Structure 1
Amino acid sequence: MTMLFHWLNEPASFRGDARELSLSTGQNTDFWQRTFYGFERDNGHAYLTPVSGDFSASVTVRGDYKELYDQAGLMLRIDAGNWIKTGIEYTDGLMHFSVVVTNRISDWSVIPLHGAHTGDNVHIRLTRHDDAVRVQFAINDAPWQLARLAPFSNADASVGIMACSPQRASFEATFRDLQVGPAIARDLHAE
């Protein structure tokens, strides 16, 4: 099956494709809807392909995380008011695994990754089963860890990689082995 990807807010600088894609973010880019901060942003970079029904998407990411809120990972998107972004986000001087679920307003959950470094391979997997999305991650060769199980519409959508730098420009991220395929098993306690 050939996947056709398209850019949402194409970055000025990028190279590669779904097998390996490197990019440099634009100035003050982000995806966020209202909650807490009071603003709406939909200018982050995302490289997306259409999906319907149940599926799993995965990618391995590395980033040069230095500034507050530098972020890179996966995005599942219906439209500007309904999406999930997940991956590494730099906050409080530390890499965190982050999940933002947006249903017209955004929430934010983080898991601090003490001991993680910018050179680590972060594996991210997002799986949709009916109206639920499971988000998992693994650092280097560690086993998959559940980060979030969230309600989310099973409407037709797009999925792929995303990167943002709300406080600067030129955050650099590299994504490898972006895959979208059949959903993994529903057993939450199996890999």
Structure 2
Amino acid sequence: MTSLPWSAGTWTTPPVAVDDEGATLRVTAAEGSDAWRVTSYGFVHDTEHTLVAPFPAGSAMEVVFTADFDQQFDQAGLFVTAGADRWTKAGVEFADGHLQLGAVVTGPLSDWSVAPVDGWRGRRVRVRVSRAGDALTVRAGLDGEELRLVRVAPFPPDAEALAGPFTCAPTRAGLTVTFHAWAAGPADAALH
């Protein structure tokens, strides 16, 4: 993987504040920011704060961030988009009293899968998404440890896509997330 500078991306929705001095990126999310389309909740939210760069077929992208969340739906990770109704967000979210590892796949309606990872709270997490063939493969784990398979999701092989670090704060003001790394490289060679 090759490190990407924070200046390599542009914001889908500008956050409240950004500090990209030095090696880290600190992003303060707007209250009510989120990404979701219709399913179960009935609303469309497209106000996520994502720093996007090109994400071509046959490549992978990853981010490292500190999962220091304690309020309902605080979240951060990696966002991949090929348009308003074709996107995936993968990362860590605080939901129902627990830190959860999960992914939302949208095309055109959102779905959500989660699994508790309470032991990750306050620690650095790495999320990687590989784009190969007709799929996105999501992997995640504590930074420096082996990544685990989170999700395999359909994705159009010919779509022009963008991806990068994201955060949202659907229920509160003041969430600031620290990203430590952003990198890109070739897609993972194998699914397992």
How high is the TM-score relative to the length of structure 1? 0.92
Q: Aligned equivalents of 1:88 and 1:18: distance in 2?
A: 24
Bigger drift between 54-63 and 34-43 goes to 54-63
Q: Describe the superposition over 1:28-74 as per-residue Cα deviations: whole angstroms up to 9, x where unpaired.
A: 10000000000000011000001222111011111431111100000
Assess if the C-alpha contact under 8 Å between 1:8 and 1:47 holds in 2. Answer: yes
Assess if the C-alpha contact under 8 Å between 1:134 and 1:149 holds in 2. Answer: yes
Q: Aligned equivalents of 2:137 and 2:61: distance in 1?
A: 11
Determine which of 162, 172, 175 is the counterpart of 2:176: 172
Matched with 2:123 is 120
Runs of 4+ in 1 over 2 A off after TM superposition: 1-4, 17-20
Assess if the C-alpha contact under 8 Å between 1:18 and 1:176 holds in 2. Answer: no
Instruction: For structure 2, list consecutive stretches of 5 or more residues without a partner in the other structure.
Output: none
Equivalent residue letter for 2:30: G
RMSD, matched Cα: 1.8
Q: Aligned equivalents of 1:96 and 1:102: distance in 2?
A: 19
CA spacing shift, 1:113–1:47, aligned 2, 3 Å: same
Instruction: For structure 1, list consecutive stretches of 5 or more residues without a partner in the other structure.
Output: none
Aligned residues: 187
Matched with 2:111 is 107
Determine which of 125, 136, 139 is the counterpart of 2:139: 136
Does residue 11 (structure 1) correspond to residue 15 (structure 2)? The answer is: yes
Matched with 1:35 is 39
Bigger drift between 46-55 and 95-104 goes to 46-55
Does residue 76 (structure 1) correspond to residue 76 (structure 2)? The answer is: no
Does residue 149 (structure 1) correspond to residue 152 (structure 2)? The answer is: yes
How high is the TM-score relative to the length of structure 2? 0.91
